[in-house]
Chain A
Amino acid sequence: MSIILVGLNHKTAPVEVRERLAFSETMLTPALRTLVESGGVSEAMIVSTCNRVEIVAASPSDSAPSLQRVCHFLHEFHRLPGLLYKEHLYTHADKLAVRHLFRVAASLDSMVLGESQVLGQVKTAYSKAQEAGTLGKVLNQLLTRTFNVAKRIRTETEIGGAATSVSSVAIELTKKIFDRLDNKRVLLVGAGEMTELAARYLVNEGVTQFLICNRTPERATELCEKFGGEVIEFSRLKFELPRADIVVCSTGASDYIITATDCKRALEIRRYRPIFFIDISVPRNVDPAIGKLDNIFLFDIDDLEGVVGENLKQRQKEADKAESIVETEVEAFFERLDILEIGPTIAALKEHLTEIALSEFERTRHKLGSLTPEQEEAIKQHLLSSLVNKFMHPLITTLREGTRSSNGGCNIVELYHQAYDLKERLSELEDRRSGTKDRRH
């Protein structure tokens, strides 16, 4: 049994390639079914987003040929000749595959480190595969673990903590000054892309009142139609300033368009209610001297980017912690998987050997002379069972090592089954287990 993963992401493939290998929602179910029916794998799941395509599968045979087949499937399904995009694909087997999946779900492999969307996308992919009926024991186990690992990393590290874009940092700072933004009036100076982006963030925070001021009024009117609010003539800017609680400034002007005098006047008219300035234009459009006034808070692009940089550094630090969590979880996952796989064999073997020991004891019982019931019990409990355990120990070790080396594992299990004739006993054990389960229900 092997776990394999074939995929491509924003680091290995440009968008032209990613879009040609992506799976749309309607394609997912047929793709999964084809993969399981003809791709040589027993279980499969596909995560397809704008930044990545990942095919996770479990295969009963060795990993190398399965990986080959999945690569071919990826091309054939998208009707691409040969292995056109082979150099953009990465292929992982077993530990590396599990590790990769853990890293993807925990957003350690994302474009923006620690973003939270990708976990949701993996969850959706999982439920899609569930609907398509292409999941089994191994992938169910794997994905349950994956979600736990992602959750653990979220709670134990601060990888998703601080804001990582200029706009979201600006919003965070605004919230340090104003408790609520829905009753605040925002003045947008300049109607370019940056102000539009900022406006969109502010709308998300509940802002409804905008004043829009631009040198060319047409563009201002355009923005006005999008977000609502009123257009202000450029020449009237300083007279309208007192009405604004938040000012976002981004124009191509080469000097200050809001001066300290304007600002002092505005404050007096506002009875010193605070004004928050965000100046994202280069060269700056708001006189930096006003930042020294009471109740005025001014931040320029460097301030905001400084915070972004610090936050990213912080996330990077947290990512190191997350990586070590991933490593330990990968080990733990395989240990559990081993137990899942060889557990029944070990139980059957133990039962088999114990039976032999007991019957041999009964056969030679008369040669042992008179024994008290206590002595008899001691022989059964201690002598025989410790003998059985001693015999089993090397067998279990070989079995474990065999499964861990991934290719020979199944054969060793098979070998045991044949050598000790365990097949029947295994199914008997299985029946007994499901019997107790039924009774419990």
Chain B
Amino acid sequence: MQELLVLSLAFYLLGLIQAGLVFFQKPRLPFAITFVSSLSGFILHTIALVIRGKQVERCPIALQPELLLFLGWSLAAYCIAAFIWNRNQVFANYVFPLAFLSTLIGVILPLPPVSPLGLRLGGSLLFPIHVSMVIFAYTAFFITFVTGLIYLFQERQLKQKRFKSILGRFPALDTCDSIGYSSMTIGFILLTLGIMTGIVWSGQRYGIYWHGDPIEIATMLTWVNYMFMIHYRVTAGWRGRRAAIVSVVGFTFIIFSLVGLKYLGRVHVSVG
């Protein structure tokens, strides 16, 4: 499995090079080559995840390296879908390095061969659905975060009349804004589903729907935060700079809740 992942990283490398070329405004590689290469990488990545799942006899999204591998996989999936949608778009080129990075770290981190969770999580299909929904949601929020950063940087340069660093390099402001908004909406829907499946799974397994652990609370706060953002956008026209700031802050909060809370003792019902 490890070999497959390394091979898929090798395929991803071409997409990474392309991203660099786009950023530094150099002549790009032919689209067909980078696309086929990224797609091959993605297919190998998928196979590797399936093999891992067979080995540990559960859904391979529970341990930290597994989560990273899955995050990388979902980011790569996003990029490939985006390139199928519009091959000339610039934005996915900026997401691709993150897919690469996440996968790379996932490969480097030591992976225990058989997980003790295998027994505890049981065969319920709800758990993998819960975890993957939440990860997909975070992937979407992450994309909103990246578009927000690009928006803020460009807006600042434009307002200060420093055009050199941005001309011909990043996607237009309204593209950033609309990609950010649509992925935020998708992320919100996925997070809602993720929370719901998590609650149901917990109820089935433990008979308790709400444990009140830090991750649960943080996730609920995230959910409320994004709900307000969508609400204000629809009702009060929060767009552009303000929307970008809020989405960056919102994602920082997610990072904090995931990384920071890990060190606050008993964290989440399944990982505990």
> What residues of chain A have their CB less than 8 Å away from a CB belonging to chain B?
155, 162, 172-173, 175-179, 270-274, 291-292, 294-295, 297, 299, 303, 306-307, 310
Any chain A CB within 8 A of the CB of B154?
yes
Query: Which residues of chain A are within 8 angstroms of B173 by Cβ–Cβ distance?
Result: 176-178, 274
Quick check: B172 and A272 within 8 Å, CB to CB? no
Contact A295 B161 (CB under 8 A): no
B168, B172, B237, B238: the one within 8 Å of A177 (CB): B172
B163 within 8 A of A: yes
Is A294's CB under 8 angstroms from B241's CB? Answer: yes
The prevalent SS among residues of B at the interface is loop
Q: Which of B163, B166, B168, B240 contacts A295 (CB 8 A)?
A: B240
A-B contact count (CB 8 A): 53
Interface residues in chain B, defined as those with a beta carbon under 8 Å from any beta carbon in chain A = 27, 154, 158-159, 161, 163-164, 166-168, 171-175, 237-242
CA of A279 to CA of B225 in the docked complex: distance in angstroms? 39
Given the interface pairs A177-B172, A179-B175, A274-B173, the reply to whether A294 lies near B242 with Cβ below 8 Å is: yes
Whole-angstrom CA separation of A139 from B254 in the bound complex: 68
Collect the chain B residues with CB atoms within 8 Å of residue A299's CB. Answer: 161
Min distance, Cβ A208 to any Cβ of chain B, angstroms: 18
Question: For the complex, what is the distance from the CA of A179 to the CA of B178, rounded to whole Å?
Answer: 10
Q: Which 5 A-B pairs have the closest CB atoms?
A: A271-B237, A272-B237, A179-B172, A179-B175, A295-B240
> Using Cβ atoms and an 8 Å threshold, which residues of chain B touch A303?
161
Name the A residues within 8 Å of B237 (CB-CB): 270-273
Most A C-beta atoms less than 10 A away, residue of B27, B158, B238, B239: B158
Contacting pair A295 B241 (CB below 8 A):
yes
With the chains together, A176 CA to B240 CA distance in Å? Answer: 13
Given contacts A176-B163, A177-B173, A295-B240, 12 further A-B contacts (CB under 8 A): A155-B27, A172-B168, A176-B158, A176-B166, A179-B171, A271-B237, A273-B237, A274-B240, A292-B159, A294-B241, A306-B161, A310-B164
Q: Please name all residues of chain B whose beta carbon is closer than 8 Å to the beta carbon of A307 when the two chains form the complex.
A: 163
Instruction: State A178–B154 Cα separation when bound (angstroms).
Output: 13
Cβ-defined contact, B174 with A178, below 8 A: yes
* B167: A residues at CB distance < 8 A: 162, 172-173, 176
CB distance from B130 to the nearest CB of A (A): 36
- Write the chain B residue with the least CB distance to A162: B167
Q: 7 pairs across A/B with beta carbons < 8 Å?
A: A176-B158, A177-B158, A178-B172, A271-B239, A272-B238, A272-B240, A303-B161
CB distance A273 to B171 under 8 Å?
no
* Given known contacts A176-B166, A306-B161, A307-B163, A295 and B175 CB-to-CB distance under 8 angstroms: no
Per a CB cutoff under 8 Å, which of A162, A270, A274, A306 touches B174? A274
A270 to B167, CA, bound (A): 27
The reply to whether A291 and B159 form a contact with Cβ atoms under 8 Å apart is yes
Cβ contacts under 8 Å, A294 to chain B: 240-242
Q: Specify which chain A residues have a CB less than 8 angstroms from the CB of B175 in the assembled complex.
A: 179
